[in-house]
Structure 1
Amino acid sequence: MTLSQTFADFATGLTIDAIPERVKERARHLILDSVGTGLAAVGAKWAEATFAAAGDLGSGTAPVLGYGRTLAMRDAALMNGVVTHGLDYDDTHSRGIIHATVSAFPTALVAADKAGASGGDLLVAYIAAMEVSTRVAAVGAGGFHGFGFHPTGLIGAFGSTLAAGRLLGLDAQQIAMAQGIVLSMAGGSLEFLADGAWTKRLHPGWAASSALTAATLAKRGFVGPPATYEGRFGLFALYLRDAAPALLAQAAEALGETWEIEAVSVKPLPACHMTHAAIDAAIALRAEYELTAADIAKVIVLVPEAVIPIVCEPVAPKRTPHTGYDAQFSIPYTVATALLMGKFTLDSLDPAALNDPAVLDLAARVSYAVDPDSDYPKHFTGEVMVETRDGRMLRHREAINRGASDRPLSNADIDAKYFENAACTVDATRAAHIRAAVLDLHLHPASALGDILAGATAPQGVSA
């Protein structure tokens, strides 16, 4: 049996009663976290541009978080993926290095709405997508990044296809076929790292849109290749080339018995997950030694070797980020900000913060080295060493990044993060109403959740 068929059987056979209560509760909180990050992004320039472009392509009645019901299903999924991922504050499965919720949930939301499904059906489809996307990404063991591919867009398309297929009424054979079809649509380039371009924000939404397309084609009898994952030009041989792993069968190991959703990390900081341990180490050093910029001669940050091309190089632009997105993928900037300010928040990504002379001056003194003791990608380790002008060498190590599955944020922590993010666009009463709708989504029709999220806020010039 191919992996496509194994995954399809899992997706069609999964029932809400077969999922442990703790998994369902965590899943609803991961969705809440995603909704909060999406609300914080409503009205951003890149979000407005995406919404306007989607409107140019057509209209419909599918729900879009904070933007109403004016887009067609695929464009709504694209838009929901853009806003929930666009601030890079969304959850991450560490072993797969994938932001899986921001393709799985946008797909499940619009497909369930289209199908008139229950909120429980939406939740099961979301969990099925999460289980497969995270497992397939983990088989790559971080290798996709090495070839310039972003797993969030690339691999998210496959899990999302299961969600779309289940909710749109496909049988297992059709869902297996849909995965072969989406193989020709999946992608996501890391070239945005060169200059902070907006394209990364498109990746999960494009995965969701592609999943809906592939599922609908398969439902109508369109034929795709069956060996989606194992084939000579299947996913792993194509995108990992000579690095294609021999342990492909692990992707389906204990599927439906162990739950990868419990290994999903929630971000405590609005930056690339690979910077978090270093940021927290810098904050700890500042607090312990009451450091000021004048105290610091130079800084060395120990990071996993695999993350160097993403958050450390090229050195010059990492030390002088031009956009907030640049800054989120910069060890020099994030560590300098944390050492000087004792925190790293969404405000740290504003133009005024990016141009702060004191931060830029310190960032120029931040360098990096390979962390010899890292267990990446299990953890995104980080250690900061500060050499002071009076000759001291101060250091702090974060061996397990905060928010990791074995150092998780609690559901209460997620609540607090949600309310902080939601406050960017809605008042406290509205935020509480949205939270209740998400956490009780399994008790109501999926369309009810779509209505609430679509009307969550009304950006200037946009009718909700």
Structure 2
Amino acid sequence: MSTQVLRKDDHEAGSTASSAVDSTAGGIAGELARFALELKLEAVPLAVRERAKHLLLDAIGLAYAAHATDFARVALDGLSVLGKGDATVIGHGRVLTARDAMVMNGVLAHGLDFDDTHSRGVIHATASLLPCVFGVSDGRPLDGAQMLAAYIAGMEAATRVGSVAKSGFHQVGFHPTGVVGIFGCALAAARLLGLSQQQARMAQGIALSMASGSLEFLQDGAWTKRMHPGWAAQSAYTAAALASRGYVGASAPYEGRFGLFSSYLGEQRGNADLSLATAALGDKWEIDEVAIKPVPACHFTHAFADAGAALHHEWQRRGYPLTELIGRIARIRVKVPEGVVKVVCEPVANKRRPANAYDAQFSVPYVTASALVKGRFTLDELEPAALRDDSVLALAAKVEYEIDPASTFPRHYTGEVGLELASGETLWHREAVNRGSADRPLSNDEIVGKYRANARRALSDARVEKIRETVLALDTLPPGTLHRVLGEAV
């Protein structure tokens, strides 16, 4: 299929780029619909299938880790106002309507900001596709293999659509997990609901009018980002249901004159590459490119957490007390990719003194300083007492950022930390490839270890292992099995 980069003059002239991808297959939406509906699970390499199940396990562990948080409790209370239902909420049982359960399960999976990220698409695709696939299959005669196939199809589509923007959504204030996640979910829902290719095209066209997700939460640590994946899932379910009954959606939701990229990218639309939406579809598996988070914070901060921890341990190896390091640091320089500055470095005052845990997770100064002081960055570093640690805040106030011209972002979320001491000595550490990325991946065994650590925050060891065994056998499960296991109340 012929595609091209969107240019400003194309947009203003009525989208010349549209004609470049228009075909009898129905453009990008048609090609994605064909792939999503025709995909055979047995045609997916075994390693990809196994990785997909481990990505789901990771997200489910996070849902349990988030179970007792304030944001989860409030979200469940708020959604309950809309009415009770018989759809499964992970760890809570059958308490909400189907679409509200999708929102809630998305909040649980994404709320700790510890879930996987497709690096090039900069999208947390599992956090929307898990609630969608889990929700659509709830109460329907759909077995685990059908759920897994729909998840994989949705992941392959969402990550590619996200990649088209080349990280541009963040630059103009949109959160791609919400804005893009809905399209992968629409295709997964279309597959599970048995839609035709034309109906799956229409589902994507309907989804265009529902795509949403603002980054304004970065200004004050608002909770809104946590609902974006689940909102994408329930909106996609709505779009697919409407399409199944003949509701007509936009025919060119991606390449159209007012399509996703022309409308949402603003001044960044000239960088969009539409060819990435379908590149090597079915031959190259983007699930292999999904990064697992080893650090519970925005992926853009991970290199700084690891660099700070490395410098902490280097100082210890030299035999100096930590208090001496803190007192001797005159300035901390961090080198960041230009594309992440608006998310994790600005506004500077907010980032140096985060108001709450969510603020902290999107702060290079706080993450760097915390890792320097403690030699790690875990969920414990997001507790209220940790956020008030004077030694951490004193170092965060000394962090200054500069653009890293050598960064390979978005392929890698690079980071470099330099300590300038009062004596004139400097200590540097660079993370050129972020830990957990496709080029430095966590193994499946490491993912299981992360799952266990998270799930144990809410469950007994016996239940942790039962869930692990169930999820990793997903493609052999009869209908309803996963829902019964995950629906048991904590």
TM over 0.5: yes
* 1:147 and 2:139 aligned: no
- List aligned pairs for 1:160-179, cutoff 5 A: 160-179=185-204
Greater shift, 105-114 or 186-195, is seen at: 105-114
Question: Which residue of structure 1 aligns with residue 286 of structure 2?
Answer: 260
- Measured after TM superposition, the shift of residue 446 of structure 1 is 4.1
Question: Which residue of structure 2 aligns with residue 413 of structure 1?
Answer: 446
Using the alignment, how far apart are the partners of 2:223 and 2:296 within structure 1? 16
Alpha carbons 2:165, 2:273 under 8 Å: kept: no
Per-residue Cα deviation, 1:76-129 (whole angstroms, up to 9, x for no partner): 111110110000000000001000000011100111123220100000000000
Per-residue Cα deviation, 1:46-76 (whole angstroms, up to 9, x for no partner): 1111111211112222111111111111111
SS class of match (1:114): coil
- Measured after TM superposition, the shift of residue 258 of structure 1 is 0.5
- List aligned pairs for 1:202-281, cutoff 5 A: 202-244=227-269, 245=271, 247-281=273-307
Question: Which residue of structure 1 aligns with residue 384 of structure 2?
Answer: 351
- Measured after TM superposition, the shift of residue 326 of structure 1 is 0.3
- List aligned pairs for 1:381-420, cutoff 5 A: 381-420=414-453
Using the alignment, how far apart are the partners of 1:267 and 1:452 within structure 2? 25
Mark the runs of 5 or more structure 2 residues left unpaired by the alignment. 1-25, 317-321
Between the aligned residues of both structures, percent identity stands at: 54
CA 1:147–1:312: 2 relative to 1, 3 Å: same
The amino acid of 2:303's aligned partner reads A
- List aligned pairs for 1:87-106, cutoff 5 A: 87-106=112-131
SS class of match (2:427): strand
CA 1:114–1:222: 2 relative to 1, 3 Å: farther
* 1:55 and 2:80 aligned: yes
Alpha carbons 1:186, 1:207 under 8 Å: kept: yes
Per-residue Cα deviation, 1:215-271 (whole angstroms, up to 9, x for no partner): 000111111111111111111111113432463122112101100000000000001
* 1:424 and 2:450 aligned: no
SS class of match (2:138): helix
Alpha carbons 1:59, 1:72 under 8 Å: kept: yes
The amino acid of 1:229's aligned partner reads Y
The amino acid of 1:268's aligned partner reads P
SS class of match (1:299): strand
TM-score norm. by structure 2 comes to 0.92
Question: Which residue of structure 1 aligns with residue 21 of structure 2?
Answer: none
Question: Which residue of structure 2 aligns with residue 318 of structure 1?
Answer: 351
Alpha carbons 1:115, 1:167 under 8 Å: kept: no
Structure 1 runs (4+) deviating above 6 angstroms are none
- Cα RMSD of the aligned pairs, angstroms, is 1.0
- Measured after TM superposition, the shift of residue 294 of structure 1 is 2.1
* 1:36 and 2:61 aligned: yes
SS class of match (1:396): strand
CA 1:20–1:195: 2 relative to 1, 3 Å: same
Alpha carbons 1:115, 1:168 under 8 Å: kept: no
Question: Which residue of structure 2 aligns with residue 461 of structure 1?
Answer: none
SS class of match (2:416): strand
Question: Which residue of structure 2 aligns with residue 135 of structure 1?
Answer: 160
SS class of match (1:123): helix
Using the alignment, how far apart are the partners of 2:41 and 2:427 within structure 1? 51
Paired residues, number: 457
Alpha carbons 1:109, 1:446 under 8 Å: kept: no
SS class of match (1:361): helix
Alpha carbons 1:122, 1:446 under 8 Å: kept: no
Alpha carbons 1:62, 1:73 under 8 Å: kept: yes
The amino acid of 2:261's aligned partner reads F
Which residue among 205, 212, 223 is the counterpart of 1:198?
A: 223
Greater shift, 446-455 or 394-403, is seen at: 446-455
SS class of match (1:221): coil
SS class of match (1:297): strand
Which residue among 90, 93, 110 is the counterpart of 1:65?
A: 90
